[in-house]
Amino acid sequence: MSVFGWLGRSLSGAAARRQEASGDHIADVRDMVAPPAPGGVRLGERVLRVGSRGPDVGWVQQRLAVLPVDGVYGPLTAAAVATWQREHGRVLADGVVGPATWRALDVPTVAAPVFTPPLATGDFAERVTRMLRAASCWDAEAWAAVLAPRMEAAGLTAPNRATMFLANISHETGGLRVLLESLYYTPQRMTEVWPSRFPTVEEARPYARAPERLAERVYGGRMGNRLPGDGWRFRGRGCMQTTGRANYEALARVTGARLDALTADESPLLQREGAADSALLCWVQAGCNAAADSGQTERVRRIINGGTIGLDDVVALERGLRGVWWSPAPWP
């Protein structure tokens, strides 16, 4: 479960202030259409997207069995490219043939520049909504209405920051469905979540479907937990599953909330606003923005989780969210 290294720190005013958005704009449809290919164009020499024309487009169409093979990069070709990219798995499924896709198509010499597509919307909340839908999050519109303004205020408007944050909270909460850790596990699942504590199924069996007993076993005596029952009382809550007395005490100090209120049945961490606020506070305080800026997905996961449990799922979620981020918004 989540472990944060922000004990005793306070949220700085600079981190809490909204940071300037980076390059968001309303795209003109003309920006999304490429000119025809110049004469004598070679494979891998340019980026292909809707509106491109030339023999290199025909080569891609033939390679992906797009009919007719007419050298015109239209919506059908873009859809076929996106499908191939998605099935290939190692390139972004954006329907654009850029340098990574040329290489994946086994073109030996690639000179095409990296393509940054124009955004089709400047509405950050709408983009967050689309990303939450793509991650199969529950009640995406309502969650986006809460998360988007808070992410903007905390400076999470750049793609790395936004996609890594949403990928991690989606993983931690099962698609924003579970804000309170249940600790109701089977023996097999315990060996996967806490392999160092339960190396075998037999060792896990006494704690199966016994949440309070399991909480004391895995959380007792650590993360600031010092009294009997602390493991259960300070189990994971909120979008980032804040866990452990030390982290709850730090959260209480920074927010001014009472410790008993944070662990009550009506805890603000179990409401959308409080769950989002606590997650973003942890994210900023723990230095996740800097790790995200440098593309360190594993580092971010270690900060949040204390290890790499769930990393594969987070990586897959992040890849999907990044595709949505760079995809044009659907036409109204």
Alpha carbon distance 1, 309 (integer Å): 8
pLDDT digits (tens, 9 = 90+) for 252-309: 988 889 999 999 999 999 999 999 999 999 998 888 999 999 899 999 999 998 889 8
Are 59 and 47 part of one and the same domain?
Answer: yes
Q: Give the Å distances, CA to CA, from 71 to 60, 67, 99.
A: 9, 10, 19
CATH number at 4 reads 1.10.530
- What amino acid occupies position 191? T
The arithmetic mean of pLDDT across residues 28-32, rounded, is: 29
| Domain extent at residue 47 | 30-104
Q: Is the residue at 224 inside a domain?
A: no
The arithmetic mean of pLDDT across residues 237-261, rounded, is: 93
Alpha carbon distance 53, 72 (integer Å): 5
Regarding predicted confidence, which is higher, 320 or 23? 320
Q: Is the residue at 124 inside a domain?
A: yes
Regarding predicted confidence, which is higher, 273 or 98? 273
The arithmetic mean of pLDDT across residues 34-57, rounded, is: 75
The CA-based angle 305-309-312, given to 5 degrees, is 120
Tell me which of 48, 72, 104 is where a domain ends.
Answer: 104
Q: Give the Å distances, CA to CA, from 285 to 74, 241, 247, 288, 292.
A: 47, 15, 12, 8, 13
Q: Is the residue at 98 inside a domain?
A: yes
Are 241 and 137 part of one and the same domain?
Answer: yes
Are 94 and 241 part of one and the same domain?
Answer: no
Q: Is the residue at 228 inside a domain?
A: no
Are 96 and 36 part of one and the same domain?
Answer: yes
pLDDT digits (tens, 9 = 90+) for 197-212: 999 999 999 999 999 9
- In this predicted structure, the answer to whether residue 94 has a pLDDT above a threshold of 90 is no
Contact yes or no for 81/99 (Cβ under 8 A): no
Are 250 and 320 part of one and the same domain?
Answer: yes
Q: Which residue has the tokens 């800097």?
A: 290
Alpha carbon distance 6, 22 (integer Å): 27
3-state secondary structure (DSSP) of residue 266: coil
Regarding predicted confidence, which is higher, 317 or 113? 317
Contact yes or no for 171/241 (Cβ under 8 A): no
The arithmetic mean of pLDDT across residues 29-39, rounded, is: 40
Tell me which of 52, 74, 104 is where a domain ends.
Answer: 104
Are 176 and 49 part of one and the same domain?
Answer: no
Q: Is the residue at 77 inside a domain?
A: yes
- In this predicted structure, the answer to whether residue 120 has a pLDDT above a threshold of 60 is no
The β-bridge partners of 242 are 237
Q: According to the model, what pLDDT value does residue 202 have?
A: 97
- In this predicted structure, the answer to whether residue 247 has a pLDDT above a threshold of 50 is yes
Tell me which of 104, 137, 167 is where a domain ends.
Answer: 104
Q: Band of the pLDDT at 93, cuts 50, 70, 90?
A: low
Q: Is the pTM of this model over 0.75?
A: no
Q: Band of the pLDDT at 329, cuts 50, 70, 90?
A: low
Are 173 and 312 part of one and the same domain?
Answer: yes
Q: According to the model, what pLDDT value does residue 39 have?
A: 58
- In this predicted structure, the answer to whether residue 23 has a pLDDT above a threshold of 50 is no
Number of domains the chain contains: 2
Length of the chain: 332
Are 61 and 156 part of one and the same domain?
Answer: no
74: left (phi over 0), alpha (psi -120 to 50) or beta: beta
CB atoms inside a 10 Å sphere around CB 197: 14
- Lowest average pLDDT, out of 61-70, 112-121, 305-314, goes to 112-121
Contact yes or no for 86/104 (Cβ under 8 A): no
Mean pLDDT, the chain, rounded, equals 83
Q: Is the residue at 258 inside a domain?
A: yes
DSSP letter assigned to residue 207? G
Alpha carbon distance 235, 183 (integer Å): 9
3-state secondary structure (DSSP) of residue 36: strand
pLDDT digits (tens, 9 = 90+) for 150-204: 998 888 998 999 999 999 999 999 999 999 999 999 999 999 989 999 999 999 9
Q: Give the Å distances, CA to CA, from 325 to 73, 86, 166, 257.
A: 22, 16, 12, 35
Q: Is the residue at 186 inside a domain?
A: no
Are 92 and 161 part of one and the same domain?
Answer: no
Are 34 and 13 part of one and the same domain?
Answer: no
Q: According to the model, what pLDDT value does residue 238 have?
A: 97
Contact yes or no for 42/56 (Cβ under 8 A): yes
- In this predicted structure, the answer to whether residue 1 has a pLDDT above a threshold of 80 is no
CATH number at 43 reads 1.10.101.10
Q: Is the residue at 145 inside a domain?
A: yes
Are 160 and 291 part of one and the same domain?
Answer: yes
Are 97 and 168 part of one and the same domain?
Answer: no
